[in-house]
């Protein structure tokens, strides 16, 4: 079997999570079968399509590792092919010009509503005489092209995810518009979605159409077009929708829109691609949750894609992202984190690479998303501290000033120390002051960091000491007592 699949985004917005997940499934399917993954840009909606969205979609797919083998093809560059197909359908009497005005169509709908009927086109211009046609033309009416749909037929296909699907011709809304005549254009120039998709999928020899279940209603119409154009019908697989935790379709209100948003939040592309592959698909070993796209492709099959909607689970995505972050080599992770630190205003502190990598080593295990680095490192930059309420209270505790003074004396001259040496010094001061070790630790944390919670104290201290910031900070703390 020669597998050729495609992702066919409309560039009317940035790369959306739903499109990206469809791209993942297509990519996995293509790679599983050694097939071809095609990128086609469905840009026939001239008003809403924008080149920057096309760029965003291409960059987003590449960022996720979803490289395409052919394309991008653009529908706006294929208008001749659509025209030829429309002409074929007209010539064979399978399509015709309909001259109904918007007002007439509206009146038809009102009438149907009043009769409690579903809105549909009543095929009234299917059999116009030459004379009638000439009369409408003379009135200056602009026709649309409609494709004939036989109400009595049934359309059946074996959906590779949903099983047997059956549609009645009578449920397709009457003869469907496949092209419009734009203002100022004398011939039909604007093919509509269903026609363009079918012509493309025929020309691009697409073997499997894997797309969101919101396209199921189009599939029945498209199958009729394949048949009318004398082409083989591809296999269809309609993937489940991505739902929010309440079970409704994931939308902007859920705080997710584009793949860009995920990138900015600090998710790694490998983690998102990994998570998206699990949005609806289950590997044979369902306990296996971390895999690369290549690993997933080895065992990907549409039979293991669920029919039910896939709930988007932020906790799971966070967990997967953390797995990837924690496994990443520190130099690579540091490179990824630098932009976040710069954006947070820490640019001045990032020049000393070995020190920075030690800092990242310290905070890496606490990171879930890259953006967390700002929060996790904020107490470790610079020579001054802001004492919060609890730290202030700790410093005011009896005896703390003397403890900090003694620590300070001991570190003035040492150029460098290890966490163990720092610990030994704490033990020494604890003994000398006859207090509990916790008191010394808590006071040190207050004096060094300004807060009582934070990263490992000894390691933080060592990092601060390498810059001489511990001395400055302890001096400030002591002065505040």
For position 215 contacting ligand GLU by CB under 6 A, the verdict is yes
Taking a C-beta distance cutoff of 8 angstroms, is the pair 363, 455 a contact?
yes
Q: What is the x/- site pattern for ligand GLU, positions 181-210, by CB under 6 A?
A: ----------------x-------------
For position 211 contacting ligand GLU by CB under 6 A, the verdict is yes
For position 221 contacting ligand GLU by CB under 6 A, the verdict is no
Pick one of 11, 31, 42, 403: the residue that binds ligand GLU (CB under 6 A).
Answer: 42
Kindly state the smallest distance separating residue 303's Cβ from ligand GLU, in Å: 21
Stretch that binds ligand GLU, among 2-10, 344-352, 366-374, 396-404 (CB under 6 A): 2-10
Nearer to ligand GLU, 260 or 357 (CB): 260
Contacts of 24 (CB under 8 A, 6+ apart): 64, 66, 273, 276, 277, 293
Alpha helices for 34-125 (secondary structure H)? 51-63, 79-91, 102-114
Nearer to ligand GLU, 201 or 372 (CB): 201
Kindly state the smallest distance separating residue 38's Cβ from ligand GLU, in Å: 11
Taking a C-beta distance cutoff of 8 angstroms, is the pair 305, 281 a contact?
yes
Stretch that binds ligand GLU, among 3-11, 173-181, 247-255, 384-392 (CB under 6 A): 3-11
Helix (H) or strand (E) holding 72: strand 70-74
Q: Could you tell me which of 266, 279, 273 has the C-alpha nearest to residue 313? A: 279
Stretch that binds ligand GLU, among 7-15, 31-39, 363-371, 461-469 (CB under 6 A): 7-15
Nearer to ligand GLU, 198 or 310 (CB): 198
User: How far apart are alpha carbons 451 and 387 in whole angstroms?
Assistant: 6
Nearer to ligand GLU, 86 or 206 (CB): 206
Task: Write out the DSSP string of 405-473.
Answer: HHHHHHHSS-S---HHHHHHHHHHHHHHHT--HHHHHHHHHHHHHSSS--S-HHHHHHHHHHTTHHHHH
Eight-class DSSP state of 32: H
Nearer to ligand GLU, 197 or 278 (CB): 197
How many C-beta atoms surround the C-beta of residue 166 within 10 A? 9
Q: Could you tell me which of 26, 38, 40, 21 has the C-alpha nearest to residue 302? A: 26
Nearer to ligand GLU, 85 or 429 (CB): 85
For position 10 contacting ligand GLU by CB under 6 A, the verdict is yes
Kindly state the smallest distance separating residue 83's Cβ from ligand GLU, in Å: 20
Kindly state the smallest distance separating residue 33's Cβ from ligand GLU, in Å: 19
Q: Could you tell me which of 23, 91, 74, 97 has the C-alpha nearest to residue 196? A: 74
Nearer to ligand GLU, 68 or 340 (CB): 68
3-state SS class at 95 = strand
Residue of 113, 249, 252, 307 marked catalytic: 252
Kindly state the smallest distance separating residue 7's Cβ from ligand GLU, in Å: 7
User: How far apart are alpha carbons 148 and 96 in whole angstroms?
Assistant: 8
Kindly state the smallest distance separating residue 64's Cβ from ligand GLU, in Å: 17
Kindly state the smallest distance separating residue 95's Cβ from ligand GLU, in Å: 20
Kindly state the smallest distance separating residue 206's Cβ from ligand GLU, in Å: 9
For position 9 contacting ligand GLU by CB under 6 A, the verdict is yes
Give CA angle at 431 (428, 436), nearest 5°.
115
For position 14 contacting ligand GLU by CB under 6 A, the verdict is no
Q: Across the beta sheet with 208-212, what order do the strands follow?
A: 163-168, 154-159, 235-239, 208-212
Nearer to ligand GLU, 198 or 356 (CB): 198
Residues 243-262 that bind ligand GLU (CB under 6 A): none
By CB under 6 A, the count of residues binding ligand GLU is 7
Residues 444-473 that bind ligand GLU (CB under 6 A): none
Cβ density class 344-357: b for 16+ within 10 Å, e for less = eebeebbeeeeebe
Taking a C-beta distance cutoff of 8 angstroms, is the pair 130, 143 a contact?
no
Q: Could you tell me which of 152, 150, 139, 151 has the C-alpha nearest to residue 100? A: 139
Q: How far is CA 50 from CA 11, 42, 74, 189, in A?
A: 6, 11, 12, 20
Nearer to ligand GLU, 72 or 419 (CB): 72
Specify which residues 156 forms β-bridges with. Answer: 166
252: annotated active-site residue? yes
Stretch that binds ligand GLU, among 8-16, 88-96, 142-150, 438-446 (CB under 6 A): 8-16
For position 11 contacting ligand GLU by CB under 6 A, the verdict is no
Point out the residues that are catalytic: 252
Which residues sit at the interface with ligand GLU, rule CB under 6 A? 8-10, 42, 197, 211, 215
């Amino acid at each position: 079997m020669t597998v050729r699949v495609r992702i066919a985004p409309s560039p009317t917005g940035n790369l959306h999570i739903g499109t990206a997940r469809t791209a993942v499934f297509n990519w996995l399917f293509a790679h599983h079968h050694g097939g071809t993954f095609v990128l086609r840009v469905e840009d026939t909606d001239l008003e809403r399509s924008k080149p920057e969205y096309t760029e965003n979609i291409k960059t987003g797919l590449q960022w996720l590792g979803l490289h395409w083998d052919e394309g991008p093809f653009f529908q706006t560059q294929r208008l001749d092919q659509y025209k030829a197909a429309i002409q074929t359908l007209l010539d064979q009497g399978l399509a015709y010009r309909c001259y109904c005005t918007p007002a007439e169509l509206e009146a038809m709908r009102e009438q149907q509503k009043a009769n409690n009927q579903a809105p549909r086109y009543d095929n009234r211009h299917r059999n116009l005489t030459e004379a009638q046609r000439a009369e409408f033309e003379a009135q200056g009416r602009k026709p649309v092209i409609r494709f004939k749909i036989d109400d009595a037929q049934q359309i059946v296909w074996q959906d590779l995810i949903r099983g047997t699907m059956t549609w009645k011709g009578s449920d397709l809304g009457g003869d469907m518009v496949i092209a419009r005549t734009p203002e100022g254009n004398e011939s039909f120039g604007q093919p509509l979605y269903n026609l363009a998709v079918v012509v493309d999928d025929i020309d691009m020899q697409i073997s499997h159409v894997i797309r969101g279940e919101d396209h199921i209603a189009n599939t029945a119409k498209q199958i009729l077009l394949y048949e009318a154009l004398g082409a083989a019908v591809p296999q269809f697989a309609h993937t489940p929708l991505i739902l929010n935790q309440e079970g409704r379709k994931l939308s902007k209100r859920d705080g997710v829109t584009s793949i860009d948003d995920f990138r900015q939040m600090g998710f790694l592309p490998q983690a998102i691609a990994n998570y998206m592959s699990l949005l609806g698909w289950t590997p044979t070993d369902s306990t296996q949750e971390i895999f690369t796209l290549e690993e997933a492709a080895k065992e990907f099959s549409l039979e293991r894609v669920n029919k039910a909607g896939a709930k988007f689970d932020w906790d799971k995505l966070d967990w997967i992202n953390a797995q990837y972050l924690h496994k990443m080599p520190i130099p690579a992770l540091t490179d990824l984190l630098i932009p976040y630190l710069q954006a947070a205003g820490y640019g001045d502190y990032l020049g000393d690479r070995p020190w920075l990598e030690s800092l990242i080593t310290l905070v890496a295990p606490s990171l879930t998303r890259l953006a967390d680095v700002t929060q996790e490192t904020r107490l470790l930059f610079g020579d001054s501290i802001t004492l919060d309420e609890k730290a202030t209270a700790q410093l005011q505790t009896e005896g703390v000033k003397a403890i900090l003074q003694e620590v300070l004396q001991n570190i003035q001259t040492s150029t460098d120390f290890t966490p163990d040496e720092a610990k030994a010094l704490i033990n020494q001061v604890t003994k000398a002051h006859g207090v509990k070790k916790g008191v010394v630790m808590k006071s040190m944390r207050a004096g060094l960091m300004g807060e009582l919670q934070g990263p490992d104290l000894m390691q933080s201290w060592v990092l601060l000491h390498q810059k001489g910031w511990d001395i400055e900070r302890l001096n400030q703390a002591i002065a505040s007592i």
